[in-house]
Amino acid sequence: MTIAPDKITSPQLTIDGKSQSSDELLSVIDPSTGEAFIEVPAASLEQLDAAVEAANRAFATWSKKPLTERQEFIKTLGQVVRDNIDELGELVMREQGKPLGNAKGEIMASLRQVEVFGNITLDPEIIKDDETGRVEVRHDPIGVVGAITVWNYPFLAAMFKLVPGLVAGNTVIIKPSPYTPVSTLRLGELLQGVLPDGVLQVLAGGDELGRALVAHEGIHKISFTGSVPTGKAIMASAAPTLKRVTLELGGNDAGIVLEDADPDVIGADLFWAAFSNSGQVCAALKRLYVPADKVDAYAAAIAREAAKVVVGPGDQEGVTAGPVQNAAQLKQVQRLAQAAIDGGAEVVFEGEVPEGPGYWFPTTIVKGVSEGNALVDEEPFGPILPILTYTDLDEAIARANDTVYGLGASVWTSDPDAAIEVAERLEAGSVWVNQHPVVTATIPFGGVKQSGVGVEGSILGLKAYTNVRVVNIKR
């Protein structure tokens, strides 16, 4: 039983462990209707100042707690999330548009952060210990982290940042996307009294708040997930105070299918690599290169899986894919699809979408396009996939690499060991074989080129929330 949109209570800002309202409100749209379903408070710049002051005050105590004590707080946090999964899943469904089962799956996936970072160690690294002296490398918390999250996985993105940030000993201020602030605001409310006041704060707001957060002298690191242009602006704004930055930005991931692969074996996996979350995944498969003599076989195999997808509102039974999340992104996908048609592309599959309002775009597969077409050169971030062809593998690798992006890439083959040679030549932060993408708390994830700076996940992601301090002892 889902909650009617008009019965959802508006969550408030969390500042210094308490709920706060605001004189300004932010309307949040349900993408399956195109209509606002709730209004939440938009934080003022004065409230940002108050949050930063509280975070710095809390840092003095939180950073001094032993790692294991901080981890006990994180485990309690995880239990609170688990106990409220139905409500949180409902909020993610309403604000993001994905099916309710997938929304709850996002909440469950976020708990993997708790499992991993709630039990990880961050001991000093001994790089010398002999009769002449001892050298230790220690990892100290940075300070106040400003975490700016994205709208495609709003809850997971928040947990990806707050959990390692807090475990490392920092305090965290989360600013969720203005498109999807509701579940993160509710998380802040649920954690009041669970975490010490000021340790975690949640502020909703628009671009002005985001710019002020990044530029604020009382914030010491920015962790951002989102677009390349915004990432560049954040890096420039962080420069005057030399803030640390972790930027997980966009991608236009290529997948190369080798000659020995079987379309009937990998067709379904190729489809979901591209169309999971209605194609709204930063590291989704967005350019598929297949041998020219097998393009029709791959198009047919992927289309067979596409035909099983039911697009509709997330609270309707049997729905497996939702809308594009917002109107601006829908226009982007429509523009790129039209560019492909204008460039002579053949639509090999076009699914059905509900009639009426909402940000709907049909599941679409095209062939007959190549580099130079906007659908291939730009990141669509929606439910459309171009299938490209090649006759020479070296050429395919060069074409796959000929982009400013470098988030992920994949190789598909019946001989995984042979794929390593191809994988080593692809310019991406992650290269997968017979899968795409795989992002978990135990594996570092980040981009090269203009797809980002730094990594999230694993011990490397945890260390990104620390400063290195060397203790060098002469005996």
Instruction: Report d(CA 389, CA 182) in Å as an integer.
Output: 43
User: 24-30 and 430-433 as β-strands: parallel, antiparallel, unpaired?
Assistant: unpaired
Catalytic residue among 90, 106, 282, 379: 282
Q: Catalytic site residue 248?
A: yes
Catalytic residue among 106, 248, 379, 456: 248
199 closest CA partner among 147, 124, 149, 151: 147
Instruction: Report d(CA 252, CA 282) in Å as an integer.
Output: 8
All residues at 6 or more sequence positions from 181 whose CB lies less than 8 Å from its CB, including other chains: 26, 28, 40, 95, 154, 204
454 closest CA partner among 52, 142, 213: 142
Q: Where are the alpha helices (DSSP H) in 118-227?
A: 154-167, 182-190, 207-215
Instruction: Report d(CA 117, CA 72) in Å as an integer.
Output: 11
DSSP secondary structure, 397-433, as one string:
HHHHH-SS--SEEEEE-S-HHHHHHHHTTS-SSEEEE
Edge-to-edge, what's the strand order for the sheet holding 408-412?
346-350, 364-367, 384-390, 285-291, 253-257, 408-412, 430-433
Question: Which of helix, strand or coil describes residue 105?
Answer: helix
Question: Which of helix, strand or coil describes residue 204?
Answer: coil
User: First CA to last CA across the chain, in angstroms?
Assistant: 69
Q: Catalytic site residue 379?
A: no
Instruction: Report d(CA 435, CA 439) in Å as an integer.
Output: 11
Instruction: Report d(CA 260, CA 262) in Å as an integer.
Output: 7
Question: Is the CB of residue 311 less than 8 Å from the CB of residue 89?
Answer: no
Edge-to-edge, what's the strand order for the sheet holding 133-141?
125-130, 133-141, 466-474
Question: With the C-alpha atoms ordered 364, 365, 366, 372, is the resulting torsion angle positive or negative?
Answer: positive
Question: How far is it between the farthest Cα atoms of the chain?
Answer: 77
Instruction: Report d(CA 96, CA 350) in Å as an integer.
Output: 23
Question: With the C-alpha atoms ordered 262, 253, 29, 360, is the resulting torsion angle positive or negative?
Answer: negative
What single-letter DSSP state applies at residue 378? S
Q: How many C-beta neighbours within 10 Å does residue 1 have?
A: 6
Q: Which residues are catalytic?
A: 248, 282
